[in-house]
Protein backbone atom coordinates (compact mmCIF):
# COMPACT_ATOMS: atom_id res chain seq x y z
CA UNK A 1 0.00 0.00 0.00
CA UNK A 2 1.15 3.51 -0.77
CA UNK A 3 -0.50 6.73 0.36
CA UNK A 4 0.51 10.21 -0.69
CA UNK A 5 -0.94 13.61 0.18
CA UNK A 6 -1.22 15.63 -3.04
CA UNK A 7 -2.76 18.89 -1.78
CA UNK A 8 -3.55 20.50 1.55
CA UNK A 9 -6.08 23.22 2.23
CA UNK A 10 -4.42 26.25 3.82
CA UNK A 11 -7.42 27.26 5.97
CA UNK A 12 -8.52 23.83 7.26
CA UNK A 13 -6.94 20.41 7.69
CA UNK A 14 -8.54 19.05 4.51
CA UNK A 15 -6.24 16.88 2.39
CA UNK A 16 -6.40 15.59 -1.17
CA UNK A 17 -4.62 12.25 -1.42
CA UNK A 18 -4.07 9.10 -3.41
CA UNK A 19 -4.13 5.57 -2.01
CA UNK A 20 -2.61 2.78 -4.09
CA UNK A 21 -3.86 -0.72 -3.27
CA UNK A 22 -3.53 -4.16 -4.80
CA UNK A 23 -6.78 -3.83 -6.74
CA UNK A 24 -6.51 -0.21 -7.81
CA UNK A 25 -5.91 3.41 -6.93
CA UNK A 26 -8.30 5.32 -4.67
CA UNK A 27 -8.53 9.11 -4.84
CA UNK A 28 -9.16 10.62 -1.43
CA UNK A 29 -11.18 11.92 0.32
CA UNK A 30 -13.34 8.94 -0.57
CA UNK A 31 -16.72 7.51 0.39
CA UNK A 32 -17.10 3.72 0.51
CA UNK A 33 -20.60 2.33 -0.11
CA UNK A 34 -21.49 -0.47 2.28
CA UNK A 35 -21.85 -3.89 0.66
CA UNK A 36 -22.66 -5.77 3.85
CA UNK A 37 -23.19 -9.25 2.42
CA UNK A 38 -20.95 -8.95 -0.66
CA UNK A 39 -23.54 -6.74 -2.30
CA UNK A 40 -24.73 -3.17 -2.10
CA UNK A 41 -28.44 -3.82 -1.73
CA UNK A 42 -30.30 -3.39 -5.00
CA UNK A 43 -27.18 -2.68 -7.06
CA UNK A 44 -25.27 -4.73 -9.61
CA UNK A 45 -21.49 -4.52 -9.90
CA UNK A 46 -21.92 -2.86 -13.29
CA UNK A 47 -24.15 -0.18 -11.77
CA UNK A 48 -21.61 0.50 -9.02
CA UNK A 49 -18.85 0.78 -11.59
CA UNK A 50 -20.95 3.17 -13.70
CA UNK A 51 -21.22 5.43 -10.65
CA UNK A 52 -17.41 5.38 -10.35
CA UNK A 53 -17.38 3.66 -6.96
CA UNK A 54 -13.69 3.34 -6.10
CA UNK A 55 -13.79 1.03 -3.09
CA UNK A 56 -16.44 -1.01 -1.28
CA UNK A 57 -16.87 -2.02 2.35
CA UNK A 58 -17.99 -5.58 3.10
CA UNK A 59 -18.87 -7.04 6.49
CA UNK A 60 -16.89 -9.93 7.91
CA UNK A 61 -19.49 -10.83 10.53
CA UNK A 62 -22.30 -11.41 8.06
CA UNK A 63 -20.04 -13.19 5.56
CA UNK A 64 -18.67 -15.45 8.29
CA UNK A 65 -22.23 -16.58 9.07
CA UNK A 66 -23.19 -17.03 5.42
CA UNK A 67 -21.93 -18.27 3.07
CA UNK A 68 -18.77 -18.68 5.20
CA UNK A 69 -15.20 -17.59 4.55
CA UNK A 70 -14.19 -21.04 3.29
CA UNK A 71 -16.75 -20.88 0.50
CA UNK A 72 -15.72 -17.36 -0.49
CA UNK A 73 -12.03 -18.27 -0.40
CA UNK A 74 -12.59 -21.27 -2.68
CA UNK A 75 -14.38 -19.00 -5.15
CA UNK A 76 -11.56 -16.50 -5.44
CA UNK A 77 -12.06 -14.35 -2.35
CA UNK A 78 -14.51 -11.48 -2.32
CA UNK A 79 -13.18 -10.09 -5.59
CA UNK A 80 -13.80 -13.34 -7.45
CA UNK A 81 -17.03 -14.13 -5.59
CA UNK A 82 -18.57 -10.72 -6.37
CA UNK A 83 -16.79 -10.21 -9.71
CA UNK A 84 -15.59 -6.87 -8.36
CA UNK A 85 -12.11 -5.87 -9.57
CA UNK A 86 -11.64 -2.72 -7.49
CA UNK A 87 -10.47 -2.35 -3.87
CA UNK A 88 -12.45 -3.73 -0.92
CA UNK A 89 -12.26 -2.96 2.80
CA UNK A 90 -13.62 -5.45 5.34
CA UNK A 91 -14.42 -4.62 8.93
CA UNK A 92 -13.66 -7.15 11.64
CA UNK A 93 -17.25 -7.84 12.62
CA UNK A 94 -16.74 -6.54 16.14
CA UNK A 95 -19.34 -3.81 15.81
CA UNK A 96 -21.98 -6.25 14.60
CA UNK A 97 -21.22 -8.68 17.41
CA UNK A 98 -21.81 -5.93 19.94
CA UNK A 99 -24.81 -4.35 18.23
CA UNK A 100 -26.72 -7.38 16.90
CA UNK A 101 -26.21 -9.90 19.68
CA UNK A 102 -27.83 -9.68 23.09
CA UNK A 103 -26.12 -12.89 24.17
CA UNK A 104 -22.39 -12.29 24.07
CA UNK A 105 -19.54 -12.69 26.51
CA UNK A 106 -16.44 -10.53 26.29
CA UNK A 107 -13.15 -11.76 27.70
CA UNK A 108 -9.50 -10.97 27.19
CA UNK A 109 -9.38 -13.70 24.57
CA UNK A 110 -12.17 -12.22 22.44
CA UNK A 111 -15.93 -12.41 22.31
CA UNK A 112 -18.26 -15.41 22.37
CA UNK A 113 -21.68 -14.88 20.83
CA UNK A 114 -24.65 -16.50 19.17
CA UNK A 115 -25.57 -15.99 15.53
CA UNK A 116 -28.50 -13.64 15.10
CA UNK A 117 -29.67 -15.98 12.31
CA UNK A 118 -29.98 -19.34 14.06
CA UNK A 119 -28.40 -19.09 17.50
CA UNK A 120 -25.26 -21.04 16.58
CA UNK A 121 -22.40 -20.36 18.99
CA UNK A 122 -19.30 -18.60 17.65
CA UNK A 123 -16.11 -17.18 19.11
CA UNK A 124 -14.35 -14.23 17.52
CA UNK A 125 -10.78 -13.57 18.60
CA UNK A 126 -8.14 -11.17 17.28
CA UNK A 127 -6.41 -14.11 15.64
CA UNK A 128 -9.35 -15.73 13.90
CA UNK A 129 -10.68 -12.32 12.82
CA UNK A 130 -7.44 -12.00 10.85
CA UNK A 131 -7.81 -15.54 9.48
CA UNK A 132 -11.35 -14.68 8.40
CA UNK A 133 -10.42 -11.47 6.62
CA UNK A 134 -7.35 -12.95 4.95
CA UNK A 135 -9.62 -15.65 3.53
CA UNK A 136 -11.98 -12.94 2.25
CA UNK A 137 -9.03 -11.27 0.51
CA UNK A 138 -9.86 -7.58 1.05
CA UNK A 139 -7.27 -4.90 0.30
CA UNK A 140 -7.78 -3.25 3.71
CA UNK A 141 -8.74 -5.22 6.81
CA UNK A 142 -9.60 -4.08 10.32
CA UNK A 143 -8.64 -5.43 13.76
CA UNK A 144 -11.14 -6.80 16.22
CA UNK A 145 -12.07 -4.06 18.67
CA UNK A 146 -14.28 -3.68 21.72
CA UNK A 147 -17.17 -1.46 20.66
CA UNK A 148 -18.70 0.70 23.36
CA UNK A 149 -22.12 2.32 23.34
CA UNK A 150 -22.67 6.02 24.06
CA UNK A 151 -22.79 7.30 26.73
CA UNK A 152 -20.05 5.51 28.67
CA UNK A 153 -18.09 6.49 31.75
CA UNK A 154 -14.43 7.33 31.40
CA UNK A 155 -13.49 4.20 33.34
CA UNK A 156 -15.55 2.02 31.01
CA UNK A 157 -14.09 3.76 27.96
CA UNK A 158 -10.57 3.26 29.33
CA UNK A 159 -11.08 -0.46 29.95
CA UNK A 160 -12.62 -0.94 26.51
CA UNK A 161 -9.94 1.08 24.73
CA UNK A 162 -7.04 -0.70 26.39
CA UNK A 163 -8.56 -4.09 25.60
CA UNK A 164 -8.92 -2.96 21.97
CA UNK A 165 -5.25 -1.94 21.92
CA UNK A 166 -4.16 -5.34 23.22
CA UNK A 167 -6.34 -6.98 20.58
CA UNK A 168 -4.87 -4.71 17.90
CA UNK A 169 -1.36 -5.89 18.83
CA UNK A 170 -2.48 -9.52 18.58
CA UNK A 171 -4.11 -8.85 15.19
CA UNK A 172 -0.88 -7.30 13.94
CA UNK A 173 1.15 -10.28 15.15
CA UNK A 174 -1.24 -12.77 13.55
CA UNK A 175 -1.24 -10.94 10.23
CA UNK A 176 2.57 -10.98 10.15
CA UNK A 177 2.43 -14.74 10.71
CA UNK A 178 -0.01 -15.18 7.83
CA UNK A 179 1.93 -12.72 5.62
CA UNK A 180 -0.81 -12.31 2.99
CA UNK A 181 -0.02 -10.52 -0.24
CA UNK A 182 -1.68 -7.17 -0.89
CA UNK A 183 -3.64 -6.93 2.39
CA UNK A 184 -3.20 -4.05 4.81
CA UNK A 185 -4.29 -3.86 8.44
CA UNK A 186 -5.41 -0.47 9.76
CA UNK A 187 -5.43 0.36 13.47
CA UNK A 188 -8.64 1.63 15.10
CA UNK A 189 -8.43 4.50 17.59
CA UNK A 190 -10.89 4.09 20.47
CA UNK A 191 -11.51 5.96 23.72
CA UNK A 192 -15.07 7.21 23.56
CA UNK A 193 -15.47 10.97 23.85
CA UNK A 194 -12.45 11.38 26.15
CA UNK A 195 -9.54 13.21 24.45
CA UNK A 196 -6.92 11.79 26.81
CA UNK A 197 -7.99 8.23 26.06
CA UNK A 198 -8.07 8.93 22.33
CA UNK A 199 -4.52 10.29 22.51
CA UNK A 200 -3.33 7.24 24.44
CA UNK A 201 -5.02 4.94 21.92
CA UNK A 202 -3.38 6.69 18.96
CA UNK A 203 0.03 6.54 20.60
CA UNK A 204 -0.30 2.83 21.33
CA UNK A 205 -1.35 2.09 17.76
CA UNK A 206 1.51 4.13 16.31
CA UNK A 207 3.92 2.19 18.51
CA UNK A 208 2.59 -1.07 17.05
CA UNK A 209 2.73 0.41 13.55
CA UNK A 210 -0.06 0.35 10.96
CA UNK A 211 -0.25 1.64 7.36
CA UNK A 212 -3.48 3.51 8.15
CA UNK A 213 -5.53 4.61 11.14
CA UNK A 214 -9.29 4.47 11.64
CA UNK A 215 -11.37 6.46 14.12
CA UNK A 216 -13.90 4.12 15.68
CA UNK A 217 -16.55 4.49 18.34
CA UNK A 218 -18.14 7.67 16.98
CA UNK A 219 -21.55 8.27 15.37
CA UNK A 220 -23.02 5.98 18.04
CA UNK A 221 -25.49 8.49 19.46
CA UNK A 222 -23.33 11.38 20.58
CA UNK A 223 -24.20 14.92 19.36
CA UNK A 224 -22.51 15.94 16.12
CA UNK A 225 -20.70 18.81 17.80
CA UNK A 226 -19.13 16.37 20.25
CA UNK A 227 -18.06 14.05 17.42
CA UNK A 228 -16.42 16.96 15.62
CA UNK A 229 -14.66 18.01 18.82
CA UNK A 230 -13.25 14.52 19.39
CA UNK A 231 -11.86 14.43 15.83
CA UNK A 232 -10.45 17.96 16.22
CA UNK A 233 -8.52 16.96 19.32
CA UNK A 234 -7.41 13.59 17.95
CA UNK A 235 -6.15 14.73 14.54
CA UNK A 236 -2.80 16.19 15.72
CA UNK A 237 -1.92 12.79 17.21
CA UNK A 238 -2.37 10.88 13.92
CA UNK A 239 0.51 10.58 11.43
CA UNK A 240 0.15 13.03 8.55
CA UNK A 241 1.53 10.59 5.98
CA UNK A 242 -1.01 7.83 6.70
CA UNK A 243 -4.67 7.66 5.61
CA UNK A 244 -7.35 8.39 8.23
CA UNK A 245 -10.64 6.54 8.11
CA UNK A 246 -13.71 7.68 10.07
CA UNK A 247 -15.93 4.64 10.52
CA UNK A 248 -19.69 4.81 10.00
CA UNK A 249 -20.10 8.53 9.19
CA UNK A 250 -22.37 10.10 8.03
CA UNK A 251 -24.56 12.76 6.32
CA UNK A 252 -23.20 14.72 3.33
CA UNK A 253 -22.60 17.70 5.63
CA UNK A 254 -20.78 15.43 8.08
CA UNK A 255 -18.44 14.35 5.30
CA UNK A 256 -17.50 17.94 4.49
CA UNK A 257 -17.07 18.87 8.17
CA UNK A 258 -14.89 15.85 8.84
CA UNK A 259 -12.77 16.33 5.72
CA UNK A 260 -12.10 19.80 7.12
CA UNK A 261 -10.74 18.01 10.20
CA UNK A 262 -8.28 15.87 8.23
CA UNK A 263 -10.28 12.69 7.50
CA UNK A 264 -9.60 10.86 4.22
CA UNK A 265 -12.00 7.87 4.16
CA UNK A 266 -15.64 7.32 5.09
CA UNK A 267 -18.32 4.65 5.01
CA UNK A 268 -21.97 4.75 6.02
CA UNK A 269 -25.19 2.83 5.34
CA UNK A 270 -27.14 6.09 5.26
CA UNK A 271 -27.39 6.67 1.49
CA UNK A 272 -28.49 3.11 0.73
CA UNK A 273 -30.68 2.51 3.79
CA UNK A 274 -32.38 5.88 3.44
CA UNK A 275 -32.95 5.18 -0.25
CA UNK A 276 -34.89 2.01 0.56
CA UNK A 277 -37.03 4.05 2.96
CA UNK A 278 -37.74 6.75 0.38
CA UNK A 279 -35.48 9.42 1.91
CA UNK A 280 -33.64 11.13 -0.96
CA UNK A 281 -30.78 13.61 -0.70
CA UNK A 282 -30.76 16.89 -2.63
CA UNK A 283 -28.62 20.00 -2.72
CA UNK A 284 -31.34 21.75 -0.69
CA UNK A 285 -31.70 19.08 1.97
CA UNK A 286 -33.77 15.92 1.61
CA UNK A 287 -37.19 14.88 0.41
CA UNK A 288 -39.35 11.96 1.56
CA UNK A 289 -40.73 10.64 -1.68
CA UNK A 290 -43.88 9.02 -0.20
CA UNK A 291 -45.31 12.39 0.76
CA UNK A 292 -48.49 13.28 -1.12
CA UNK A 293 -47.05 16.57 -2.36
CA UNK A 294 -45.01 14.61 -4.93
CA UNK A 295 -47.97 12.71 -6.43
CA UNK A 296 -48.14 14.93 -9.51
CA UNK A 297 -44.66 16.48 -9.34
CA UNK A 298 -42.99 16.33 -12.78
CA UNK A 299 -39.60 17.50 -11.52
CA UNK A 300 -36.59 15.25 -10.91
CA UNK A 301 -35.45 14.55 -7.35
CA UNK A 302 -32.85 17.31 -7.67
CA UNK A 303 -32.80 19.63 -10.66
CA UNK A 304 -29.06 20.20 -10.26
CA UNK A 305 -28.25 16.46 -10.16
CA UNK A 306 -26.77 14.70 -13.21
CA UNK A 307 -27.50 11.13 -12.14
CA UNK A 308 -29.45 8.85 -14.54
CA UNK A 309 -32.46 8.81 -12.22
CA UNK A 310 -32.80 12.58 -12.17
CA UNK A 311 -32.22 12.66 -15.91
CA UNK A 312 -34.96 10.14 -16.74
CA UNK A 313 -37.57 10.06 -13.97
CA UNK A 314 -39.95 12.38 -12.17
CA UNK A 315 -40.74 12.61 -8.49
CA UNK A 316 -44.27 11.53 -9.36
CA UNK A 317 -43.03 8.30 -10.96
CA UNK A 318 -40.63 7.55 -8.11
CA UNK A 319 -43.42 8.12 -5.58
CA UNK A 320 -45.69 5.76 -7.53
CA UNK A 321 -43.03 3.03 -7.49
CA UNK A 322 -42.43 3.49 -3.77
CA UNK A 323 -46.11 3.47 -2.84
CA UNK A 324 -46.72 0.40 -5.02
CA UNK A 325 -43.91 -1.46 -3.27
CA UNK A 326 -42.02 -1.99 -6.51
CA UNK A 327 -38.43 -3.28 -6.26
CA UNK A 328 -37.42 -0.68 -8.82
CA UNK A 329 -38.12 2.06 -6.28
CA UNK A 330 -35.25 0.84 -4.08
CA UNK A 331 -32.96 0.46 -7.08
CA UNK A 332 -33.54 3.94 -8.49
CA UNK A 333 -33.50 5.62 -5.09
CA UNK A 334 -30.20 3.89 -4.27
CA UNK A 335 -28.63 4.97 -7.55
CA UNK A 336 -29.56 8.58 -6.84
CA UNK A 337 -28.40 8.64 -3.22
CA UNK A 338 -25.10 6.94 -4.00
CA UNK A 339 -24.52 9.30 -6.90
CA UNK A 340 -25.22 12.24 -4.58
CA UNK A 341 -22.67 11.02 -2.02
CA UNK A 342 -20.02 10.18 -4.61
CA UNK A 343 -20.55 13.51 -6.37
CA UNK A 344 -20.18 15.28 -3.02
CA UNK A 345 -16.80 13.59 -2.55
CA UNK A 346 -15.78 14.47 -6.11
CA UNK A 347 -16.61 18.11 -5.47
CA UNK A 348 -14.69 18.02 -2.19
CA UNK A 349 -11.59 16.76 -4.01
CA UNK A 350 -11.95 19.44 -6.67
CA UNK A 351 -12.43 22.24 -4.13
CA UNK A 352 -9.28 21.14 -2.28
CA UNK A 353 -7.29 20.98 -5.53
CA UNK A 354 -8.42 24.48 -6.51
CA UNK A 355 -7.71 25.76 -2.98
CA UNK A 356 -11.35 26.75 -2.47
CA UNK A 357 -12.44 24.17 0.08
CA UNK A 358 -13.23 26.90 2.60
CA UNK A 359 -16.00 28.10 0.23
CA UNK A 360 -17.63 24.67 0.26
CA UNK A 361 -17.32 24.46 4.03
CA UNK A 362 -18.87 27.92 4.42
CA UNK A 363 -21.91 26.85 2.38
CA UNK A 364 -22.50 23.93 4.73
CA UNK A 365 -22.18 26.06 7.82
CA UNK A 366 -24.41 28.81 6.44
CA UNK A 367 -27.22 26.24 6.06
CA UNK A 368 -27.10 25.32 9.74
**Catalytic positions:** 91, 267
Q: Within 13 A of 179's CA, how many CA atoms are on the CB side?
A: 1
Name the residue among 311, 304, 143 with its Cα closest to residue 212. 143
Q: Tell me the CA distances in angstroms from 244 to 15, 17, 276, one per residue in order.
A: 10, 11, 29
Count of C-beta atoms within a 10 Å radius of residue 283: 13
Closest C-alpha to 76, from 133, 118, 137, 141: 137
Task: Round to whole Å and give the CA distance between 91 and 141.
Answer: 6
Cβ neighbors of 347 (< 8 A, separation 6 or more) are: 360
What are the residues facing 114 on neighbouring strands? 121
Kind of pairing between the strands at 15-21 and 24-28: antiparallel
Residue 362 to residues 9, 28, 256, 280, 365, Cα–Cα distance (Å): 14, 21, 10, 23, 5
For the chain, what is the radius of gyration of the CA atoms?
A: 20
The whole-angstrom separation of Cα 157 and Cα 204 is 15
Closest of 57, 73, 201, 222 to residue 141, by C-alpha? 57
Confirm if 314 and 300 have CB atoms less than 8 A apart: yes
Q: Which residues contact 23 (CB under 8 A, 6 or more apart)?
A: 79, 85, 86, 87, 88, 139, 182
Smallest CA-to-CA distance from 251 within 235, 271, 265 is with 271
Q: Is 285 helix (H, G, I), strand (E, B) or coil?
A: strand
Amino acid sequence: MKFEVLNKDSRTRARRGRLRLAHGTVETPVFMPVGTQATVKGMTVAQLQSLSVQILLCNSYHLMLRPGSETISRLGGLHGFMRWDRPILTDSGGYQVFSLNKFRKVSEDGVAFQSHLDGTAYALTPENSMDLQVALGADIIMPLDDCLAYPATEDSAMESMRRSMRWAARCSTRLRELAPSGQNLFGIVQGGVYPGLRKESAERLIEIGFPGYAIGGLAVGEPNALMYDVIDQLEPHLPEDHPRYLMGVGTPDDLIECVARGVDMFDCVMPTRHARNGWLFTADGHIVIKHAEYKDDPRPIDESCRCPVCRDHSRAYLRHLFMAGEILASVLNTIHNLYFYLDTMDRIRQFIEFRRFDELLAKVRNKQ
